[in-house]
Amino acid sequence: MKNFTDIKSHIIPEFDDGPFDIDESLEILILAEKSGVSKIIATPHYENLLLNNKNYKDVEEYVEKLNTLVHKHDIDINIFSGMTLNFTEKIIDIIDTESQNFSLNKTRFFLIESTFNYFDENNLKIIEKFRDKRLYPIISHPERNNYLRKNYKILEEIIKLGALIQINSDSIIGNHGEISKRFALEIIEKKHATCISSEIHNKDKIMSPNLDQSYEIISKLFGENISNKLFISNPQLILDGHLPKFED
């Protein structure tokens, strides 16, 4: 059994786009444990929270409920609170006012995603804003972004500015299509990836707990040392609030 730290998941029910209710959350967490996950950050979409009149305090309350539930059922997994942000003007206000409440486990790390078909180059200014405040944006699943796939230099610029890169497990497996898979592997081969996460949403084949499957694929292609960094040590460092190490 591996000891994966999963920094992106949608396991909070009712006000995110993951499980329907807390019972389904529990089923998903049981599967996550079986797939080798021991620590997981709940990262609901910030926009979904706004639509449902919720905030970070509601996330923390649900995380506490889920931790109580998994421990009651002897599930060996610990859950932490976080958020998935979008590249919008609201993000500047978050940085300037209460950034820690929207970070991963109240650290200096923030999970941010863009639309799938475009990446506004003005987003680079937002990344610079994070770094000016010594905060670290983690760009979520760039392998699924059609614009970045055609403009790798933009991804390189993102990394030069100090942003980190999170890849989806489903992309490695091929559940998001062959193009996303090839691009994800290219990012890893160029040593531009920071970590691989599940982005759990449900119990089905796609966006389900499957880190064990993608771990095996990456181990065969790049070796266990790379896999352990992407699935275990780097995400654990992020969870603890430390910058991942990238030396070979």
For the domain 4-240, what is the CATH superfamily, name and number? Answer: Metal-dependent hydrolases (3.20.20.140)
* pLDDT greater than 90 at residue 17: no
Q: Is the dihedral of CA 11, 107, 128, 151 positive or negative?
A: negative
**pLDDT digit string (tens) for 97-144?**
777 889 999 999 999 998 788 888 889 999 999 999 999 999 999 999
pLDDT at 95: 79
Residues near 222 by Cβ (< 8 Å), separated by ≥ 6?
188, 189
- Other C-beta atoms closer than 10 Å to the C-beta of 3 total 13
Q: How far apart are CA 236 and CA 107, in angstroms?
A: 12
Residues near 125 by Cβ (< 8 Å), separated by ≥ 6?
none
Q: List C-alpha distances in Å: 84 to 46, 104, 186, 222, 234.
A: 6, 9, 24, 29, 19
First to last CA, the chain: 25
Structure tokens at 86: 């979008």
pTM, two decimals, is 0.95
Query: Domain segments of the chain: what residues?
Result: 4-240
Q: How far apart are CA 214 and CA 231, in angstroms?
A: 9
pLDDT at 119: 86
Query: Which range has the worst mean pLDDT, 76-80, 83-87, 95-99?
Result: 95-99
**pLDDT digit string (tens) for 185-223?**
999 999 999 999 999 998 887 788 999 999 999 999 999
Q: Is the dihedral of CA 201, 206, 209, 214 positive or negative?
A: negative
Structure tokens at 105: 């486990």
Confidence of residue 226 (pLDDT cuts 50, 70, 90): very high
